[in-house]
């Protein structure tokens, strides 16, 4: 069985996904091949039947691809002092329910290089709210972008699984965005109408069950 997963997601989610499958079938010795790449490349691999499954974010535009939902993740903004809503030594996670564009455009933002599903969602969010921000860095790894922001070296968005509850409030603030404003949905994608083998069906079933029980 071959599974594609975006590099942005793999470092945090792949260990628990594979562990969930292994716990469901502890006596199985199924060989699993992992391909890490950008979402657009993995989608092409799935359409070309070079991988069996693709762990990814919505949206999916191809009508040849179906999916099972895993979980919905809220989005957080890690912000340095260039963000006008920054409050020095604030230890709490603040809520954002509305967007005041003028207060967002002063921040220096850490972008991900194009190609990942998450970078496309961030670009879409900024465009929808007509927010034009200064580019501080352009980084390939979401984890690196998050760590830079935690050190007060710029601002960046993260899904909940990159959130640190203990952060240095002299360097950054953390803002949780309302799900009506920005959130992401993680899914397992596969070819529509494809006759999946039993092992692949079991993998999907166990991972879906794991996240359902985790809620």
> How many other C-beta atoms lie within 10 A of the C-beta of residue 177?
18
| Arithmetic mean of pLDDT, 178-203 | 92
Pair of tokens at residue 98:
């509305």
**pLDDT in the model for residue 129:** 93
User: How far apart, in whole angstroms, are the C-alpha atoms of residue 57 and residue 14?
Assistant: 14
* Percent of the chain residues past pLDDT 70, beyond the cut: 97
Sign (positive/negative) of CA torsion 135, 137, 140, 143?
negative
**pLDDT in the model for residue 137:** 87
Asked if 105 and 131 touch (Cβ cutoff 8 Å), the reply is yes
Q: Counting runs of H as helices and runs of E as strands, what totals does the chain give?
A: 6, 10
* Percent of the chain residues past pLDDT 90, beyond the cut: 66
pLDDT tens-digit series, residues 88-113:
888 899 999 999 998 899 999 999 98
User: How far apart, in whole angstroms, are the C-alpha atoms of residue 37 and residue 35?
Assistant: 6
What CA dihedral angle connects 43, 47, 53 and 56, to 10 degrees? 20
């Amino acid at each position: 069985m071959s599974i594609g997963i975006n590099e942005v997601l793999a470092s945090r989610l792949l260990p628990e996904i594979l562990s969930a499958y292994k716990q469901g079938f502890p006596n199985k010795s199924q060989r699993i091949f992992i391909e890490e790449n950008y979402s657009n490349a993995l989608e092409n691999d799935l359409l070309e039947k070079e991988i069996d499954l693709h762990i990814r974010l919505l949206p999916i535009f191809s009508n040849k691809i179906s999916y099972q939902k895993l979980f919905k993740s809220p989005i957080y903004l890690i912000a340095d002092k260039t963000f006008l809503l920054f409050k020095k030594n604030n230890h709490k996670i603040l809520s954002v329910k509305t967007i005041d564009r003028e207060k967002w455009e002063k921040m220096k933002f850490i972008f991900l290089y194009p190609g990942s599903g998450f970078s496309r969602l961030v670009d879409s969010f900024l465009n929808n709210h007509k927010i034009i921000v200064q580019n501080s860095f352009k980084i390939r790894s979401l984890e690196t972008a998050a760590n830079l922001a935690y050190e007060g070296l710029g601002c960046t968005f993260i899904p909940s699984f990159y959130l640190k509850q203990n952060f240095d409030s002299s360097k950054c603030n953390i803002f949780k965005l309302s799900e009506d404003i920005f959130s992401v949905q993680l899914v397992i994608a596969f070819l529509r109408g494809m006759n999946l083998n039993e092992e692949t069906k079991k993998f999907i079933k166990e991972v879906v069950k794991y996240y359902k029980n985790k809620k």
